[in-house]
Structure 1
Amino acid sequence: MSRFSEADRDRIRSQLVEAGRELFAQFGFERTRISDVTEAVDIGTSTFYGFFDSKEALYVEVLCAERDRLESRIDEAVATANTPREEVRTLIETMFREVRSNPLISRLIVENELHALQEHLSDAERESLAASIQESDLSYADRWVELDAFRFDDPAVVSGLIRSLVFTTRSRETIMESGGTADYEAVEDALIETIVAGLFVDGDDGEGDNDGNSDP
């Protein structure tokens, strides 16, 4: 590996992650081979192991990068909200949209593939992954529960509720295949509105308790 400069190593690692992202998204983890990734980057398979210990280690980095992208998109979307109630709705809508449009996000949140991969990682990699997962938990809930208008005072419950909602994205295909309503968007919108309304005291959107800033 000494033949690579530090700049070369950074470039190749980035290329491996990007190639892995495209291949994992298209074919999934099991059907993607290390040789597929190395061919896309134009390096030898043996060189791959100078950057990652295994295909699992690469997949973890890809999923963590997708999680970071998701958090950035959520932050950008929630920043446009004017009240805490709008923040909650925007966050849920953004998560739904990302899970439906990005197979990696779906596998990350719905399939919980990061958890499934942990047994294939080294102790150091597992510790690093556990720390990053803890740091990335929904931080908005910590602020929402401090509002007088908010019905719950445990941020873990709020985060769990919102994450559980994401699983309803699976019902779209089931409803369509069974001949259910074609206007699924209206059903989903009603579900989100019901959840958001239930999180706040009737008639109070929390605007008086929060200045609308959405820093996590």
Structure 2
Amino acid sequence: MRKTIVDSQCKDELRNKLCLVCEECWKKNGYRKTSVKEICDLADVAIGTFYSFFNKKEDLFVETIIRIQERLDYQFFELTLSKEPTLNGYTKAIKMLYREYDKIPFLYEVNTPDFIALIKKIDSEIIKKLHVDSVNFFRKAIRKANLVLKVEEDFAIGTLSALLSTIQSKDVLDKSYDHIKLFDFMLDNLINSLFDNTTVIKR
């Protein structure tokens, strides 16, 4: 029984290591230029071990992005919003999300040839699982932070989604000014137009 637990922990650690290396390679080289051999070499894992976990390279990339989404969800709701369920906490959580997207470009560069090449090799049901429902995400966040809306909820969510999408223009923005400072400035000046700086009274 003890050996089974140790083996299970070891497998989980190896799987996690492969996903972490995959994430770094994906950021640096993209999906198409990243090989199974490169991932295994960097993770110090035998290729045979890799194929005991994944049938093909794409399976690792899918698991990696799912893990990233789960990590962002945890950071947004549990590490930030749960500790400060207010408008200020909500603003901090969105800033955190923007910074994470800035570090992981393939999360928003979904129309590039590299990302499309990956999608073509993934089952349609898995693609649905990868799709992030941003409307429900922000709806949940509004409830979690007990926010009072000044505008229609869908309008507020659409506005915030549009603001986050400016990450796609960061290279252009950086030619004039730091894009993160610009995002923070826009969010700080916009947020009070969408929500009251109060909270819902819980009954």
Q: TM-score range by the shorter chain?
A: 0.7 to 0.9
1:16 maps onto 2:18 in alignment: yes
Contact 1:16 1:41 in 2 (8 A): yes
Contact 1:20 1:59 in 2 (8 A): yes
- In structure 1, give the amino acid aligned to 2:137: D
Q: Structure 1 CA distance, aligned partners of 2:37 and 2:48?
A: 10
User: In the superposition, relative to structure 1, how do residues 107 and 13 fare at CA in structure 2: closer, same or farther (>3 Å)?
Assistant: same
Contact 1:147 1:210 in 2 (8 A): no
State TM-score, norm by structure 2: 0.72
User: In the superposition, relative to structure 1, how do residues 174 and 27 fare at CA in structure 2: closer, same or farther (>3 Å)?
Assistant: same
1:77 maps onto 2:80 in alignment: yes
Contact 2:109 2:168 in 1 (8 A): no
Q: Structure 2 CA distance, aligned partners of 1:71 and 1:191?
A: 23
- In structure 1, give the amino acid aligned to 2:81: V
Using the aligned pairs only, state the percent identity: 20
**Matched residue, 2:184:** 189
SS at the partner of 2:53?
Answer: coil
The offset of 1:27, in angstroms, is 2.1
The offset of 1:124, in angstroms, is 5.8
Gap runs ≥5 in structure 2 = 1-6
Contact 1:17 1:58 in 2 (8 A): yes
The offset of 1:137, in angstroms, is 3.0
SS at the partner of 1:61?
Answer: helix
**Matched residue, 1:140:** 141
**Matched residue, 2:166:** 168
Write out aligned runs for 1:39-118 (5 A): 39-75=41-77, 76-81=79-84, 83=86, 85-100=87-102, 102-103=103-104, 106-108=105-107, 110-112=108-110, 116=116, 117-118=118-119
User: In the superposition, relative to structure 1, how do residues 53 and 199 fare at CA in structure 2: closer, same or farther (>3 Å)?
Assistant: same
- In structure 2, give the amino acid aligned to 1:79: S
**Matched residue, 1:214:** none
Contact 2:54 2:60 in 1 (8 A): yes
Q: Structure 2 CA distance, aligned partners of 1:35 and 1:186?
A: 39
Q: Which runs of 4+ in 1 moved over 6 A?
A: none
User: In the superposition, relative to structure 1, how do residues 169 and 210 fare at CA in structure 2: closer, same or farther (>3 Å)?
Assistant: farther
Q: Structure 2 CA distance, aligned partners of 1:112 and 1:47?
A: 30
The offset of 1:54, in angstroms, is 1.9
**Matched residue, 1:205:** 197
RMSD: 3.3
SS at the partner of 1:120?
Answer: coil
User: In the superposition, relative to structure 1, how do residues 95 and 210 fare at CA in structure 2: closer, same or farther (>3 Å)?
Assistant: farther
Contact 2:82 2:144 in 1 (8 A): no
Q: Structure 2 CA distance, aligned partners of 1:183 and 1:133?
A: 27
Alignment length, in residue pairs?
Answer: 189
State TM-score, norm by structure 1: 0.69
SS at the partner of 1:190?
Answer: helix
The offset of 1:184, in angstroms, is 5.4
Determine which structure has greater relative contact order: mean sequence separation of CA pairs < 8 Å that are 6+ residues apart, divided by chain length: 1
